Structure formats: C-alpha cells, structure tokens
Amino acid sequence: MLIQLGRHDEARLIYQTMVERNPENWAHYDGLERTIRPANEEEKLAIYIGIAEKYNRAAAPKRIAMNFASGKIFNIRNLSNRKSN
C-alpha cells in the first residue's frame, strides 16, 4: 500500500524489518527491491550481497541473486563460503 502511495522510504523501513525477522521469506525481498528501485543489475546485486553478508546463514538472498546475476559481477562461491560469526 505504501509503495502504491509513493511512500517508498516508509515502505523500505518496513520491508527491512521484515527481512530482519525472516531472512528466508522471498516475498520480503521482492517488496524491498521495489522500494529501493535499483537502476541496474549491479545495484540489484548489491542489495542481496549486503543482506547475505548481514545474515550469512540465510540462503534466500544468495539464491535470489543467482536468478538474475551472471558473469563477472557475481561469484556465488564468495557468498557461500563466508564464515558465520
């Protein structure tokens, strides 16, 4: 609803909280991505890399990134091999 009203900043905070609570829910990432509105694949990938680093046990941000990223800008091995704190 907030996105439809053009209140992207407010919606982003809500989606970020939802990702924090459940980093495995793919729908939360879809909403977060719509609020951030990345201009290209690299910006989109940066969203998922940042989340994967913060929640290194979560598989969803790594898997979602594999759906669209390719070539030089993405190396799933680097994300998958990060050690948990």
pLDDT tens digit string along 4-14? 888 999 999 99
> Does a structural domain hold residue 71?
yes
- Report the share of the chain in percent with pLDDT over 90: 59
Burial label for 24, CB within 10 Å (0-12, 13-18, 19+), is middle
> Does a structural domain hold residue 62?
yes
> Does a structural domain hold residue 85?
no
Q: Which domain holds residue 22?
A: 8-80
Number of domains the chain contains: 1
> Does a structural domain hold residue 3?
no
> Does a structural domain hold residue 33?
yes
Strand, coil or helix: what is 19? helix
Query: What mean pLDDT is predicted for residues 54-62?
Result: 94
pLDDT band at 74, cuts 50/70/90?
A: low
| Residue given tokens 């991505």 in the structure block | 33
CA-CA distance, 25 to 30, in Å (whole number)?
A: 9
Distances (CA, A) of 80 to 19, 56, 61, 64, 65: 19, 8, 11, 13, 12
